[in-house]
């Protein structure tokens, strides 16, 4: 029923009456309005015929057939009372007289609003000697208009006016009940003649009833698919450059991994990975706009109202060819109704290294380096004649800062003026990295405006602009693994020489003989003397018009655009120790443009106990990308750097440029139906045409259907006080994946250089096309249930099965064709899993509340089929470098050798030398799987998967009076990892501290920089004096990726501990207009439990230190 809309109408009426009292013109307007209203009430006819219809249904019928809106107190009006009505083309007044005949309910018409009220009984009137006044506001200090104020247990009541005030006569010591839709009801005892000041809090359960889905919204109770929602407060609790980090630990089935590089987007996976070579990233949609790339870094987290994650086919099929990997819907805030708000948020904090590697001290390093060189070459580095200098440089400490600031500021203005609703905001996010000059700065502006021209036409726009500056540490190889960079520097070298130049091994007489003449490595020089920046200007948004053709039929058209201009610049100065006296670098630009136009027709119809809606969409979207880059070496002037490319050595210069694009055309339909709010159905179909695919398969059809049964609405559970909600739901559908790149189905002309007559020539060759190239298709089945007990404990369980077929892969073809491979559709990959989310209010008293949430997810990924009965494909080969695709194993498997421990005895050595003749005591032993008496790539086995066996999240929310404490934890169990490079995974910091690659000093290796071991590894090395050592000897050279160090990882991280205090409205005496103010302190990543060492406990990444952050901030609204 539409009685909820009464609050909007009453505002207009109250303002109108005030204006009429002040001006004669308004008096004429009122007369005309009154006449029109009277005429409307006299002429408007309805037809309601029923032998046994509830009062509530009669009211609904009147609202459907007219523009009347009802307002009433549900405690006074019995909506379930059945009446007999036979009104054929009768006036509304006649129908109401018949419906309420013989009751104590009477009605009053004010404009097009009908107020239902109860007549007070004589006994009650006699007690009404106490006049009670008061005001009702929300937590922001805004008056609540139209709130119901009633005397508990009696038929006495009123509603609040435009200022939120009320007056009523109530018995002494009466208890008032204050109710308003979307707010928690409150009871207040009347005492004396003091004016009551009543604050209503938002009812989060009610506010959560509506979620955003593709091309619309749905009530949570109507959902037949798997949709997860993250609220505004959860998003604001994380200080991060990318809003996706707010999803960590909160969303079952959703994995979010960060690499801690400022400005880099997290890697997000929804229900596993299904593609070999096409994309596995979800589709991101902001305010209905599907973004052209997988980055939402430019969005200000303070602007976001909610994030919905669509996981199953019933929810994602409406996006067809882009929905196979899930959809992330981001909805930004709109203006407040009947209010004007100025909001300010400020956060300041410090980032610190969360996990560092304990390094060797001076004595340990000297012992290690001497032992390694003695084992490898028979000669120590440092001797009595050539002692180690009294220097110990901790290169890790030199490179990684002790702390770096992070700041986040935003200001917004929102409200409603007349028929215009608006929200305008600006934001600034500043993050310095812990390494060198790394940083990420973001400046944002957003404008959301909607104007209602009349009852039929509404127009609006969403506009987002962002300017970002990202600086990375290092260029090329120096921008890679942080751990390999600092471990390459010898602690006995200073950072700089006495003359101020950077110290390098080749210039140090004590050790120069152990390095080649060009050993010029200095970690600080090669990190600190570089500039590597990326600046982005991005504008995206849409304008739309919505036409209400009839009461049930709406047409919406919108046009959106996404424009990004990116400038890349990198330069390594001549001061780099590897620069040999000159600089190197380059610059370039990228331009991206996406346009979209959509026409959406929506029809809704409610009758009796049926609810039906249909949505039809036509969509056209294109994308154009162009780039140009140039680089060179030999720059002699560091001041101009690589901005003047004419100063580079021409023989070293290289160029690259390109331009490509694609177009997607779509026709979409969705139908929803509900009967008695118990039996639910959602059916979706999308027909996509993409320019990316072959001539014979440009179009794809993607249908889905979802069914739901709300058992709790059945009569046998209708009044059950324990089971307050129980819904079964199931869905099946097909989605697609078009992320294959551009022109892959076409034969292309490529260039290649060759030598002819001692001259460099450029030639061209043709690649093979595939006109039959088609969509990757994912068939997904989902079965779940939602259970609520006592309306305070909530359980959601989902089982799903995803089967992706027609995978895109370069398949070998006969050499007689003139080509080696052709991109084709092959194979099947399966993802099956279970998601469980349990939440509830554990404790609730007057001053204390405790909520808890736990979620756990398990996904099993498996390659079911490749092609032509092939069981295995070698993607890359080599010891420690192999990647395979094998039927029956995971797409995310890691392959390595099987460790059999350290050679500790002469018997073990003699046996192993039959396989590896050069083996020595203290070397690692590996299993000879194929029994060919040699350790080769063929001996590698599946040592684990990068996807955890299961992952989980835990959240606790405590509220004591005005204090709020929120704690979020995230964990994963049993996964494998490979860091930034193969060697990084063998350095004594990963696994259980069991991996190692501490210094490869072979017969022909005089300048191998990687790598020095950690203190943990050094203390566990095998040696004659430590025969029980669990790590290989110093200088061992047979170190490969194995099951010993790269699998069986676990972690649990307290992601966030946030404590806040709510000062309420107007907390400062003498200063009015403050609607709310709160202060908070937040600790992020401060507590970590992991069974492996290294920087990033989540994925083994070694390119940046793990960051823990402490922030303080304030949120204020005026």
CATH code of the domain containing 60: 3.55.50.30
Residue 129 has pLDDT above 90, yes or no: no
618-628 tens-digit pLDDT? 999 999 999 99
pLDDT given at position 43: 52
Q: State the pLDDT confidence band at 1001, using cuts at 50, 70 and 90.
A: very low
Identify whether 356 is part of a domain.
no
User: What's the Cα-to-Cα distance from 471 to each of 530, 641, 1104, rounded to whole Å?
Assistant: 10, 16, 13
Burial of 528 by CB count in 10 Å (0-12 exposed, 13-18 middle, 19+ buried)?
A: buried
Report the 3 state secondary structure along 661-698.
EEEEEEEEEEEEEEECCCEEEEEEEEEEEECCCCCCCC
**Contact indicator for 708, 727 with CB cutoff of 8 Å:** yes
User: Lowest-pLDDT range, 125-129, 131-135, 882-886?
Assistant: 125-129
Would you state the pLDDT for residue 264? 84
Q: What is the mean pLDDT of residues 12-31?
A: 34
Q: Give the lowest-confidence range in 121-130, 425-434, 563-572, 1027-1036.
A: 121-130
Residue 600 counted as domain residue:
no
pLDDT for residue 1034: 84
Q: Does residue 61 lie in a domain region?
A: yes
List pLDDT tens digits, range 654-708: 888 888 898 999 999 999 999 988 999 999 999 999 888 888 888 989 999 999 9
Residue 267 predicted with pLDDT over 80: yes
pLDDT band at 112 (very low <50, low <70, confident <90, very high): low
Whether the predicted pLDDT of 581 surpasses 70: yes
Range of the domain at 13: 1-118
Q: Is the pLDDT of residue 521 over 90?
A: no
- Token reading at 994: 């069991």
pLDDT digits (tens, 9 = 90+) for 887-936: 999 988 888 889 899 999 999 999 999 999 989 999 989 999 999 999 98
What does the pLDDT look like over 341-357, one tens digit per residue? 899 999 999 999 988 88
Separation between Cα atoms, residue 1037 and residue 832, nearest integer Å: 41
Is residue 55 within 8 A of residue 61, CB to CB? The reply is no
At 172-210, the pLDDT tens digits run 778 888 887 667 778 888 876 678 888 887 665 444 467
Whether residue 910 lies inside any domain: the answer is no
Q: What is the DSSP string of 309-357?
A: EE-SHHHHGGGGGG-TT-EEEEEE--PPTT-EEEEEEEEEEEEEEEE-P
Which segment of 228-242, 417-431, 831-845 scores lowest on mean pLDDT? 228-242
pLDDT grade, residue 850 (50/70/90)?
Answer: very high
pLDDT at 36 exceeding the cut of 90 = no
Chain centroid to CA 1006: how far? Answer: 47
Strands (E), 61-183: 69-71, 82-91, 105-110, 113-118, 130-138, 148-151, 157-159, 165-170, 175-179
Percentage of the chain beyond pLDDT 90 is: 33
What's the mean pLDDT in 946-957?
92
Confidence at residue 128, expressed as pLDDT on a 0 to 100 scale: 47
983 vs 941, which has greater pLDDT? 941
Residue identified by tokens 């009446």 is 83
- pLDDT over threshold 70, residue 719: yes
Give the residue-averaged pLDDT of 45-52: 82
Helix (H) or strand (E) holding 910: helix 906-912
Q: Would you say residue 753 has pLDDT above 80?
A: no
Q: Tell me whether residue 25 is in a domain.
A: yes
* pLDDT, average across residues 324-341: 86
Q: Long-range contact list for 204-212, CB < 8 A, 24+ apart?
A: 204/231, 205/791, 206/181, 206/182, 207/182, 211/306, 211/308, 212/306, 212/308, 212/329, 212/331
Q: What is the pLDDT of residues 733-745, one digit of tens each?
A: 999 887 777 777 7
Flag whether pLDDT at 121 surpasses 60.
no
pLDDT band at 578 (very low <50, low <70, confident <90, very high): low
The answer to whether residue 238 sits within a structural domain is: no
**Total residue count of the chain as it appears in this document:** 1118
Is residue 108 in some structural domain? yes
> What percent of the chain is modeled with pLDDT above 70?
86
pLDDT tens, position by position, 1013-1058: 888 888 888 999 999 988 888 877 777 788 877 778 899 999 999 9
Helices (H) and strands (E) in the chain, counts: 14, 51
> Mean pLDDT, to the nearest integer, of 65-83?
80
Mean pLDDT of 53-71: 83
Q: What angle do the packed helices 55-65 and 92-99 form, to 10 degrees?
A: 180
pLDDT band, residue 486 (cuts 50/70/90): low
According to the model, what pLDDT value does residue 754 have?
A: 66
Helix (H, G, I), strand (E, B) or coil at 1017: helix
Mean pLDDT is lowest, of 292-306, 506-520, 563-577, for: 506-520
Structure tokens at 267: 């890697």
Can you tell me the distance from the alpha carbon of 294 to that of 312, in angstroms, rounded to the nearest whole number? 19
Question: Which residues, other chains included, contact 350 with Cβ-Cβ below 8 Å and sequence gap of 6+?
Answer: 403, 404, 405, 406, 1109, 1110, 1111
What are the φ and ψ backbone dihedral angles of 476, each rounded to 5 degrees? 60, -125
Q: 63 lies in a domain? A: yes
Tell me the sheet residues that pair with 444.
427, 466
pLDDT confidence band for 513 (50 / 70 / 90): low
Q: Which tokens belong to 599?
A: 């026409």
CA diameter of the chain: 117
pLDDT score at 203: 62
How many structural domains comprise the chain? Answer: 1
pLDDT band at 147 (very low <50, low <70, confident <90, very high): confident
Helix orientation angle between 24-43 and 6-22, rounded to the nearest 10 degrees: 140
Asked whether residue 594 carries a pLDDT value surpassing 60, the answer given is yes
What was the pLDDT predicted at 22? 38
């Amino acid at each position: 029923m539409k009685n909820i809309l009464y609050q909007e109408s009453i505002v207009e009426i109250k303002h109108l009456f005030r204006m009429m009292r002040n001006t004669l013109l308004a008096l004429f307007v009122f007369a005309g309005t009154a006449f029109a209203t009277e005429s409307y009430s006299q002429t408007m006819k309805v037809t309601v015929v029923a032998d046994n219809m509830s009062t509530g249904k009669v009211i609904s019928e009147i609202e459907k057939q007219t523009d009347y809106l009802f307002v009433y107190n549900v405690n006074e009006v019995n909506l379930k009372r059945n009446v007999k009505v036979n009104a054929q083309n009768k006036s509304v007044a006649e129908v109401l007289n018949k419906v309420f005949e013989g009751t104590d309910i009477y009605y009053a018409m004010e404009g097009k609003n009908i107020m239902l009220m109860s007549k007070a009984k004589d006994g009650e009137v006699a007690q009404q000697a106490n006049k009670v006044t008061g005001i009702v506001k929300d937590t922001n200090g805004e008056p609540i208009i139209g709130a119901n104020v009633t005397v508990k247990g009696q038929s006495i009541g009123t509603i609040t006016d435009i200022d939120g005030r009320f007056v009523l006569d109530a018995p002494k010591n009466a208890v008032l009940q204050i109710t308003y839709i979307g707010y928690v009801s409150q009871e207040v005892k009347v005492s004396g003649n003091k004016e009551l000041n009543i604050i209503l809090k938002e009812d989060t359960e009610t506010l959560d009833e509506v979620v955003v889905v593709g091309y619309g919204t749905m009530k949570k109770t109507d959902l037949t698919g798997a949709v997860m929602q993250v609220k505004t407060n959860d998003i604001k609790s994380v200080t991060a450059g990318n809003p996706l980090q707010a999803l960590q630990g909160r969303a079952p089935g959703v994995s979010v991994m960060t690499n801690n590089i400022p400005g880099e987007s997290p890697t997000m996976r929804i229900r596993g990975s299904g593609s070999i070579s096409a994309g596995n990233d979800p589709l991101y949609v902001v305010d209905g706009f599907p973004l052209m790339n997988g980055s939402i870094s430019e969005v200000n987290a303070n602007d976001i109202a909610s994030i919905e994650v669509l996981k199953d086919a019933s929810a994602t099929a409406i996006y067809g060819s882009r929905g196979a990997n899930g959809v992330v819907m981001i909805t930004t805030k709109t203006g407040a109704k009947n209010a004007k708000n100025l909001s300010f948020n400020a956060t300041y904090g410090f980032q610190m290294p969360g996990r560092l590697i304990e390094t060797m001290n001076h004595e340990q390093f000297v012992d290690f380096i001497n032992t390694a060189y003695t084992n490898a070459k028979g000669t120590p580095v440092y001797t009595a004649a050539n002692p180690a200098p009294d220097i110990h440089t901790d290169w890790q400490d030199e490179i990684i800062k002790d702390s770096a600031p992070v700041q986040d500021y935003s200001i917004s203005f929102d409200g409603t003026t007349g028929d215009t609703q608006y929200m305008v905001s600006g934001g600034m996010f500043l993050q310095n990295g812990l390494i060198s000059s790394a940083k990420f700065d973001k400046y944002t502006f957003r404008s959301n405006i909607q104007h209602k021209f009349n009852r039929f036409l509404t127009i609006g726009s969403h506009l987002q602009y962002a300017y970002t500056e990202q600086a990375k540490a290092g260029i090329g190889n120096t921008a890679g693994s942080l751990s390999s960079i600092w471990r390459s520097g010898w602690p006995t070298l200073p950072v700089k020489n006495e003359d101020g130049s950077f110290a390098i091994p080749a210039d140090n007489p004590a050790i120069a003989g152990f390095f080649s003449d060009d050993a010029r490595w200095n970690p600080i020089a090669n990190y600190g003397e570089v500039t590597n920046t990326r600046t982005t200007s991005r504008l995206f948004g849409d304008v739309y018009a919505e036409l209400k053709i009839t009461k049930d039929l709406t047409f919406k058209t919108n046009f959106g655009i996404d424009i990004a201009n990116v400038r890349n610049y990198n330069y390594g100065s001549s001061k780099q120790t590897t620069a040999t006296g000159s600089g190197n670098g380059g610059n370039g630009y990228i331009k991206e443009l996406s346009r979209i136009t959509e026409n959406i027709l929506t029809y809704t119809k409610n009758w009796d106990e049926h609810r039906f809606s249909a949505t039809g969409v036509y969509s056209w979207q294109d994308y154009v990308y162009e780039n140009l880059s140039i680089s060179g070496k030999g720059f002699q002037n560091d001041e101009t750097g690589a901005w003047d490319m004419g100063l580079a050595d021409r023989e070293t210069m290289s160029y690259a440029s390109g331009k490509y694009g694609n177009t997607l055309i779509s026709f979409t339909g969705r139908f929803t139906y509900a009967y008695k709010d118990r039996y639910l159905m959602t059916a979706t179909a999308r027909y996509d045409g993409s320019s990316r695919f072959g001539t014979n398969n440009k179009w794809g059809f993607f249908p889905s259907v979802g069914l739901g049964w709300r058992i709790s609405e059945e009569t046998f559970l209708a009044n059950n006080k324990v089971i307050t909600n129980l819904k079964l739901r199931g869905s099946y559908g097909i989605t697609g994946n078009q992320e294959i790149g551009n022109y892959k189905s076409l034969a292309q002309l490529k260039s290649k250089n060759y030598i002819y007559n001692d001259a460099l020539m450029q030639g061209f060759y043709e690649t093979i096309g595939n006109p039959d190239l088609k969509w990757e298709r994912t068939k997904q089945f989902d079965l779940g249930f939602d259970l609520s007990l006592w309306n305070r404990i909530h359980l959601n369980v989902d089982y799903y099965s995803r089967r992706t077929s027609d995978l895109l892969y370069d398949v070998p073809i006969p050499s007689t064709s003139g080509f080696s491979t052709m991109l084709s559709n092959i194979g099947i990959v399966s993802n099956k899993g279970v998601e469980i989310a349990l939440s509830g209010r554990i404790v609730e008293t007057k001053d204390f509340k405790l909520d808890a949430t736990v979620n756990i997810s398990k996904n099993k990924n498996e390659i079911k089929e490749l092609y032509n009965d092939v069981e295995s494909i070698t993607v890359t080969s080599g010891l420690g470098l192999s990647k395979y695709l094998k039927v029956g194993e995971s797409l995310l498997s890691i392959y390595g050798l099987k460790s059999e421990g350290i050679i500790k005895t002469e018997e073990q050595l003699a046996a192993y030398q039959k396989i590896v003749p050069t083996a020595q005591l203290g070397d690692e032993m590996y299993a000879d799987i194929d029994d060919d008496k040699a350790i080769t790539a063929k001996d590698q086995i599946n040592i684990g998967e990068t996807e955890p066996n299961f992952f989980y999240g835990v959240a606790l929310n405590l509220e004591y009076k005005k204090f709020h404490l929120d704690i979020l934890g995230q964990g994963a169990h049993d996964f494998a990892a490979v860091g930034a490079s193969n060697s990084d995974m063998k350095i004594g910091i990963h696994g259980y501290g069991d991996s190692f690659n501490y210094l490869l000093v072979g017969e022909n290796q005089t300048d191998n920089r990687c790598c020095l071991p950690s203190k943990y590894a050094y203390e566990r090395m095998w040696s004659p004096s430590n025969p029980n050592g669990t790590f290989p000897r110093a200088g061992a050279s047979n170190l490969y990726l194995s099951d010993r160090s790269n699998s069986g990882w676990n972690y649990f991280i307290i992601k966030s501990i946030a404590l806040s205090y709510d000062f309420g409205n107007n907390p400062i005496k003498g200063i009015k207009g403050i609607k709310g103010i709160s202060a908070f302190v937040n600790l992020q990543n401060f507590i970590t439990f992991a069974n492996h060492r290294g920087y990033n406990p989540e994925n083994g990444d070694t390119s940046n230190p793990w960051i823990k952050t402490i922030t303080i901030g304030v949120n204020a609204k005026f």
